[in-house]
A and B are shown apart, each in its own frame.
Chain A
């Protein structure tokens, strides 16, 4: 099919189904969010008073939101580093054939299959100040989830463990792609295990490492279920990450305008980080 000017329009028809799906589930909510972030809303979420960037200035001057940003950053750093290190360590451990390897592989990949809410329930019991196994084993008496100094770390470590499952899979696949004879040559060349890890394993993993890093960062920013169940943003906002703050503003305080503005800020942060990452990738990753 061609227009009068001879432009071929047939290919665009093939895009219609996927564009429709995107429009309903992505573009509409996205633009609606931006729209709402410019208004004060009523309790039903209907835009009532246009305030321009009022919601944004309010947020950026609020101590609570700045705390949210800080908490989110700490949370993301712990989750990404912890989750990736754990995934890498377990993948390297399971890269050798030995009896029972399947049991270990399954165990390390398992967090992927556990819902964050059920994992949170289990951690809640384990971290319980009176009957929890953590205090019993360590012989301590800490109220892990109700202490502003420890609550964030507990939630972050749980999330890191949850994310390590899929990282384990990514890294295992990456390790499988590294030619075994390279390790053999390195052995004959005289390299020890640590030298082999740094000169062969890490460079060999760099392409998948990059991909995993991007996915992990995005995932970490969006963690919600475990925070909702374990701490509900508390104590004293010490675990009030942006996603939870959005949830609370929208569905407890019915301030949809402010919640939308926070969503937009979160979107911008994630997009900027991803763009920077892709820039770095072109320089640092060897294939």
Chain B
């Protein structure tokens, strides 16, 4: 059992700048929590504060109802995997894995059993006598994870453990980590800048930017209900398209005009969404977001019954990527690149024009100034 609670955790290196500001999170037992964000967003710093490698400038860190702000790293009962693996170069793989146990003065027979068990789980038994210098990147990674799992820590802390591996190995290790989490049943806190890793591994994701938590949610909720423009753009691959549009009130309905106030490219909304826009943002400029997979051709729009609610935008294709199961078309809209993922039958070539329809149920609207998601559902 382990509960980790972070209360208003802050990290300051000087008087003005916060590396991490007001970080609040309850991490429950057996969770796989991911800290994700671009470089410099404070995700690693937060992890290192939990490990005890960085001082906490302000706030409280509770581990199992014990205040741990001033506890030495060795007394926090964590086990950590580093980005560069941090294997002791002068020790064999066996000694690397046994180090933490030896220090704790565990009996030799027990150490031996645990190391072999962990090595078996990770399929590195044949490497035990080697030194880290004689291992490949993927093998080092396994040894680093092995060194962490020989103990029964309160939580595993992983700092971008897969970022030094090649794409194929990374995908493979991702699946294994997921399996490992189920088998071990231990809390994992995992830092990454890769949203794919975050979405596939995490049971809960913390999205950070500039030291501030943007949103904490399960992967599916994060994808469907992003709190703001940043989260919407960060989660999902390829990322969400954004463009400016104007809100025009038409009785109960609401029209979004793309680009300018008198644009003929329109999307009609009704129901609750229209009501919210009419009430708070009538005649204002807002940011519209739509995922590439929610853009369709006429036939599909007609099949989905929303072709009347959206005026197709006719666009000249700039780049075409045939991906097999689908085709990605890229075009320019208000100075930025828009992407659409269409059925592979679409045969539009570069330079040709294509009419595209946005699914009105799947559009997101963000406040121009605060960048908040106007349709964000609290607590969903």
By the criterion of a CB under 8 Å from any partner CB, how many residues of chain A are at the interface? 20
**In the complex, A182 Cα to B79 Cα: how many Å?**
13
B86 at the interface (CB under 8 A from A): yes
Interface centre among B84, B89, B133 (most CB of A within 10 A): B89
Partner of A187 from the list B53, B91, B157 (CB cut-off 8 Å) is B53
Given the interface pairs A187-B72, A188-B78, the reply to whether A286 lies near B90 with Cβ below 8 Å is yes
B74, A192: Cβ atoms under 8 Å?
Answer: yes
B334 to chain A, nearest CB (A): 45
Q: Which residue of A lies closest to B54 (CB)?
A: A184
Provide the A151-182 mask, 1 if CB < 8 A to any CB of B, else 0: 00000000000000000000000000001011
Main secondary structure of the interface of A (DSSP, over half): helix
A200 at the interface (CB under 8 A from B): yes
A185 at the interface (CB under 8 A from B): yes
Q: Which residue of A lies closest to B48 (CB)?
A: A184
**In the complex, A203 Cα to B87 Cα: how many Å?**
13
A190, B78: Cβ atoms under 8 Å?
Answer: no
Q: Which residue of A lies closest to B90 (CB)?
A: A203
Which residues of A (112-163) have their CB < 8 Å from a CB of B?
none
Given the interface pairs A204-B90, A286-B89, A286-B90, the reply to whether A191 lies near B84 with Cβ below 8 Å is no
B184 at the interface (CB under 8 A from A): no
Residues of chain A with a CB closer than 8 A to B79's CB: 188-189
Residues of chain A with a CB closer than 8 A to B53's CB: 184, 187-188
Which residues of B (80-99) have their CB < 8 Å from a CB of A?
80, 82-84, 86, 88-91, 99
B279 at the interface (CB under 8 A from A): no
Residues of chain A with a CB closer than 8 A to B88's CB: 182, 186, 199-200, 203
Residues of chain B with a CB closer than 8 A to A191's CB: 74, 99, 103
A253 at the interface (CB under 8 A from B): no
Given the interface pairs A188-B73, A188-B74, the reply to whether A181 lies near B86 with Cβ below 8 Å is yes
- Report which A residues bind B (CB closer than 8 A): 179, 181-182, 184-192, 195, 199-200, 203-204, 206, 286-287
- Report which B residues bind A (CB closer than 8 A): 51-53, 72-74, 76, 78-80, 82-84, 86, 88-91, 99-100, 103-104, 133, 147, 157
Q: List 14 A-B contacts (CB under 8 A).
A: A181-B83, A184-B82, A185-B80, A185-B86, A185-B147, A186-B88, A188-B51, A188-B52, A188-B53, A188-B74, A189-B103, A191-B99, A191-B103, A200-B88
